């Protein structure tokens, strides 16, 4: 019983550490993106430069697929 409890707690701690690390990576990426967008604040050509920052849109998706993707991202359905 003690070994099982130890194993469960160990796994829970490892999962928590992985989630925390993943969250830190996402926060760092978000911060970099915000900084890059802020650098375009006073640039008259900022709109055209945003494509390089935000990535290229998927050109092969239909309106239906885009709507379904947005519904999945927002509501998980």
Is residue 54 within 8 A of residue 37, CB to CB? The reply is no
pTM attached to this predicted model? 0.45
Indicate the SS3 state at residue 12: helix
**19-38, pLDDT tens digit by residue?**
999 999 889 988 888 887 78
Residues in CB range of 61: below 8 A, 6 or more apart: 69
Is residue 49 within 8 A of residue 43, CB to CB? The reply is yes
Question: Which pLDDT tens digits describe the chain residue by residue (77 residues)?
Answer: 999 999 999 999 999 999 999 999 889 988 888 887 787 788 777 776 676 666 666 667 677 887 888 888 888 76
Give the start-to-end residue ranges of the domains of the chain.
Answer: 2-75
């Amino acid at each position: 019983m003690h070994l099982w409890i130890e194993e469960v707690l160990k796994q829970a701690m490892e999962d928590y550490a992985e989630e925390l690390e993943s969250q830190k990576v996402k926060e760092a990426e978000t911060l970099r993106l915000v900084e890059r967008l802020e650098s375009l604040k006073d640039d008259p050509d900022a709109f055209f430069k945003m494509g390089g920052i935000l990535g290229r849109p998927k050109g092969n998706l239909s309106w239906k697929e885009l709507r379904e993707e947005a519904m999945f991202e927002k509501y998980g359905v």
